[in-house]
Amino acid sequence: MPCDGNASCTDNGRTAVCPDPADLSFRIATLRVLDEQGRVQPTAEPDVSEAELVRLYRAMTLAREADQRMLKLQRQGRLGTFPLCTGQEAAACGSAFALRPDDWYAGGYRDLGARLLRGEKLETSLLYWAGYEEGNVSPEAGRTLPTSAIVAAQTLHAVGIAYAMEYHGERAAVLTSLGDGGTSEGDFHEAMNFASVWQAPVIFLCVNNQWAISMPRSGQTRSRTIAQKAIAYDMPGVLVDGNDVLAVYQATREALDRARAGGGPTLIEAVTYRLMMHTTADDPGRYQSESELQEWWRRDPLPRFRTYLEDKGFWNADRQASLDEEIKAEIDAAVQALESREGLAPDAQFEHVYDTRHARLEDQRAEFLANLARESHHA
């Protein structure tokens, strides 16, 4: 029989609990701190010190400049194919800025700024995109998982870690990020479901950059927002301006605090735009309109945040010039370190499969090295 909206109803002798229609209304919280001109919204400004705000701005600037340098390296044949993060620095850095050292980070492949904020060396990212397994090893980044190239797979890893921390009584949380395309993967929905059932301390950050390679967001889902997908899993959903680094930080911090206190998971949608190609193998001119692209360039998160800092008296042209020189030197040093390294182990990938060595894996290592030696001899 159809449910009549009562607290319970019976179907073929079985009693099922039905929701009260009055409890089915929902609203997605929205958050913005800085408008597109960098002006702060009344009562919305988070309490962050000058030193920390400058550290956040530096991370965003380093990510932008490293991204553009890596593009030149790739075009020169000195780096492999990689995904660019230009335009998404606020979402990556603002969310990672909210993490504590004892929290975990499980990111995707377009999160350079977050990884740098977590302490990963730029050289490590360069190694990864140059095709070296050593690029997955970053002890200085603490509880940060290697880059996940498999779309949305990291969301399952994040929930597993969060559940393990709950099991062991740790009061920490996990942040996992993915793109809007990742929400079309089954992994994402499985992760959301388990996180909700277990009330695991995990934050899902969907960086909605409008494109899953060449598939627009409108071709992926009929949902008016991605944040509202949280409703099906009975967790909070928050929609933020993804080009407003302070809004992303505020939303993530509140979600992390709630998760650590036992309040369960949250889904945050950060609305932004991919200002460059999906990867260096992509031609976005075949599907992106120039007018839309230019409109989003006008919403660039870096000038917005810089204006905010200047208005507060924390930044000026001299400090910017000094930072530009400092970052250029840092990137130059990382590139030099990459290209001058010797003795990169060809079998490094076998070192990081298990914590201890296994006979079958060692047999595969030996076979791999033998084949490599044979091919080198023939060459």
Q: Which residues are tagged catalytic? A: 274, 278, 287
CB 202 within 8 A of CB 167: no
- Residue 268 and residue 239: Cα distance in Å, rounded? 6
Residues 6+ positions from 202 with CB-CB distance below 8 Å: 158, 159, 161, 162, 173, 174, 175, 176, 191, 195, 259, 265
What is the rounded distance in angstroms from the CA atom of residue 318 to the CA atom of residue 321?
5
> Radius of gyration (Cα) for the chain, nearest Å?
23
173: tokens are 């949380």
Distance separating the N- and C-terminal Cα atoms of the chain = 75
Q: Is the CB of residue 331 less than 8 Å from the CB of residue 69?
A: yes
Q: How far is CA 238 from CA 106, 266, 322, in A?
A: 19, 8, 37
Amino acid at 367: E
CA distance 271 to 296: 11
* Rounded Cα gap, residues 70 and 123, in angstroms: 11
Alpha helices in 76-121 (DSSP H): 89-96, 112-117
Give 119: exposed, middle or buried? Use CB within 10 Å, 0-12, 13-18, 19+. Answer: middle
Partners of 177 in beta bridges: 205
The whole-angstrom separation of Cα 134 and Cα 128 is 7
User: Residue 231: CB partners within 8 Å, gap ≥ 6?
Assistant: 26, 237
106: which 2 tokens? 């499980």
Q: In this structure, are residues 210 and 274 in contact, taking their beta carbons and an 8 Å threshold?
A: yes
